[in-house]
Amino acid sequence: MMHVAVIGAGAAGCFCAAHLRRRMPDALIDVYEAGPKALAKVAVTGGGRCNLTNSFARVRSLSDVYPRGERLMKRVLKAFSPEDTWRWFEDEGVPLLLQEDQCVFPLSQDAMQIVHTLLHAMEGVNLHLNAKFIRLEEGFRLILKDGKQFSADRVVITTGGAPKGLPMLDGWDLEMVPPVPSLFTFTVRDSALRSLMGLVADASVSLAGTRFRASGPLLITDWGLSGPAILTLSSHAARYLAEVGYTARLSINWRNAPEDSVRKEIAAIAAANPRKFVASVHPDGMQSRLWEMLLNKAGFRREMRWGEMGNRGLNRLVSALTQDGYTLSGKFPFREEFVTCGGVSLTNINLSTLECKHYPGLYFAGEVLDVDAVTGGFNLQAAWSMGYVAAQSIAGS
Ligand SMILES: Cc1cc2nc3c(=O)[nH]c(=O)nc-3n(C[C@H](O)[C@H](O)[C@H](O)COP(=O)(O)OP(=O)(O)OC[C@H]3O[C@@H](n4cnc5c(N)ncnc54)[C@H](O)[C@@H]3O)c2cc1C
């Protein structure tokens, strides 16, 4: 009888175990979980609602949503797609809801329904809680923290994103990518900006001297900047920002439009309103609090009229609107989601099977690999797809 050991009862490990159970009813399947509960993280995903996947309808390129691991994701999504995720959960009795922003949640809006469904699908799997795995020895001998030892024919490591790496695999010839945080918000010490706390604008943001940029809703907080535009930028620039110690110059384009079209827009407002105060006529959709802050930054007097602006004034205003610069002074954990980038390098594994090239029978799935996504259900979709592929490969091996 084949013995499969899955290390880590998170999203990837449990999904893998559930598929192993169904595909290999005669196999002995053990899941070892360090914590007192399985799927503890899934229980708190999406603010307790669990954003379990995304329709991918607005994804132009996989690299936009998977800054690391795009090639692997292309393969595993072919094997287990967002539609498969949708079908699987609905077949298990979980009606799903597609939001306007293309994020998918259980209709119940309750992450515990996802937890219970996965645990139910794992019936017949031996789940060992408080079973911390500390070493893997030759012959796939697993050593647990309490001294217990087991041997397995196949081992799937799904221990998630570990800030301290994988000491239990010390001595194994595996290339590792140093782990660093992804998906965080930015600390900006700027009193004028912070006075706009709570304001949301559709903007694009970029890091000076790099190609990292992102666009979407930008939220001003009491510590600096947050919102989808910042989280996406933090994900794409995660490694760069770690290298520079989370200090960098950030440029905000408050119109989320190219400079020449903003110039035309402002010139048209000036031509149509020569006698009006600049402060009293603002571009479409721009909140007056933000407009006033930008006029102040551009050095305009309160009583300045559009007709008095001149070319130099126009240049200053366009620059404040499209290249508003701030110094980042640190990162702030995003309260809803925290993901690690880095981990086991994809060079170690066969991207189609998730099996280790050097060690046949050893598999990796989930955030333990150097794969991670922006927010929106893409991280959990990665965990489902990889868990499925590892199970499929083992069942076919
Ligand atoms: C607060 C929060 C909210 C999130 N919300 C969303 C969301 O709505 N949508 C989305 O797509 N993504 C979300 N994410 C990200 C998503 O949860 C992760 O990407 C996903 O859980 C990764 O799955 P995984 O199985 O690889 O790792 P995990 O789910 O982290 O599971 C790893 C498991 O391995 C166990 N483990 C670790 N080391 C050992 C060891 N040595 N021995 C035994 N067991 C071990 C851990 O205890 C854990 O249970 C959120 C993350 C957080 C923190």
Alpha carbon nearest to ligand 1 atom 48, residue: 10
Angle, to 10 degrees, between the axis of helix 70-79 and the axis of helix 378-395? 60
Mutation choice for ligand 1 from 119, 337, 368, CB with most ligand atoms inside 8 A? 337
pLDDT, tens only, 185-223: 999 999 999 999 999 999 999 999 999 999 999 999 999
Ligand 1 centre and the CA of 41: distance in Å?
5
Q: How far is the CA of 302 from the centre of ligand 1 (A)?
A: 52
Distance (Å) from CA 160 to ligand 1 centroid: 5
Pocket of ligand 1 (CB under 6 A): 7-13, 32-35, 40-42, 44-46, 50-51, 132-133, 158-160, 168, 336-339, 366-368, 377-380, 383
- CATH of range 183-251+325-333; options 1.20.120.450, 2.102.10.10, 2.40.30.10, 3.30.420.40: 2.40.30.10
Ligand 1 pocket test, candidate residues 379, 384, 385, 388, most atoms within 8 A of CB: 379
Centre of ligand 1 to C-alpha 263, Å, is 46
Cβ atoms of 2 and 153 closer than 8 Å: yes
CA of 73 to the centre of ligand 1 (A): 18
Q: Looking at ligand 1, which atom is closest to the CA of residue 379? A: 11
Looking at domain 3-180+338-395, which of 1.25.10.10, 3.50.50.60, 3.40.50.720, 3.90.850.10 is its CATH number?
Answer: 3.50.50.60
Please say whether the beta carbons of 111 and 46 come within 8 A: yes
Q: What is the largest CA-CA distance in the chain?
A: 87
Determine the Cα–Cα distance for residues 45 and 23; give it in Å rounded to an integer. 28
Q: What is the pLDDT of residue 334?
A: 61
Residue nearest to atom 10 of ligand 1 (CA): 377
Tokens of 378: 């893409």
Whole-structure pTM value:
0.93
- 259-321 belongs to which CATH class? mainly alpha
**Residues of the chain under the 50 pLDDT cut:** none
Task: Please give the distance of CA 5 from its chain centroid, rounded to a whole number.
Answer: 28
pLDDT tens, position by position, 150-194: 999 999 999 998 877 788 998 999 999 998 989 999 999 999 999
Q: What is the pLDDT of residue 238?
A: 95
395, 328, 331: which is closest to 363 by C-alpha?
Answer: 395
50 Cα nearest atom in ligand 1: 8
Ligand 1 pocket: which of 183, 380, 385 to mutate (most atoms <8 Å of CB)? 380
CA-proximal residue: ligand 1, atom 30 (nearest): 160
Structural domain boundaries in the chain: 3-180+338-395, 183-251+325-333, 259-321
The pLDDT of residue 43 = 96
Closest-lying ligand 1 atom to the alpha carbon of residue 111: 8
**pLDDT of the residue at 2:** 96
Pocket test for ligand 1, best of 14, 45, 371 (most atoms within 8 A of CB): 45
- Compute the CA torsion angle 264, 269, 273, 278 (nearest 10 deg): -110
pLDDT of residue 162: 80
Fold equal for 3-180+338-395 and 259-321: no
